[in-house]
Amino acid sequence: MKDSMNLAVDYPLLNMFWTMMMVFLWVLWFFLLFRVIGDIFRDDELSGWGKAGWTIFVILLPFLGVFVYLIARGRGMGERELKQAQRNEEQFRSYVHQSAGSGSQAEELSRLAELKNRGEITEAEFQQAKHKVLMA
């Protein structure tokens, strides 16, 4: 019992706060490091040699490399991330549109009937397209 009491006294509240702060800063540092490395490879303007150079600089001298990268290219990080999010959104919408198809059978049949009524397709073409829609 006395040993557990000594442990609490030997590690005061201020030291616990300081340890938690250091862990938080350590996690924050790794988050920033991976964010910079991700931005290096996301950038379409950098050549392969530029990407390799920045990556080596950030890995060999991490603190200096990250801070220099943020100063030199930090302004465009948000823009590149926004462009990537827009590309992802467009790909998602395209996938959903392809997966959903052009509509239900009823919509397709009504569209075909309208085309036939306007005289844009013949009765034979209507029957052939209707058969195709119903078999799909």
Report pLDDT for 9: 62
Domain identity same for 84 and 117: no
Domain identity same for 83 and 56: yes
Alpha carbon distance 119, 133 (integer Å): 19
Alpha carbon distance 12, 126 (integer Å): 85
Domain identity same for 65 and 126: no
pTM: 0.57
pLDDT in tens, 36-84: 999 999 888 889 999 999 999 999 999 999 999 999 998 888 888 898 8
Number of domains in the chain: 2
Domain identity same for 74 and 14: yes
Alpha carbon distance 120, 18 (integer Å): 79
Domain identity same for 95 and 49: yes
pLDDT in tens, 91-122: 998 888 777 765 677 788 888 888 889 888 88
Domain identity same for 31 and 56: yes
Alpha carbon distance 75, 73 (integer Å): 6
Domain identity same for 9 and 36: yes
Return the percent helix, strand and coil in the chain, to nearest 5.
Answer: 85, 0, 15
Q: Which residues form the domain of 115?
A: 102-136
Domain identity same for 114 and 70: no
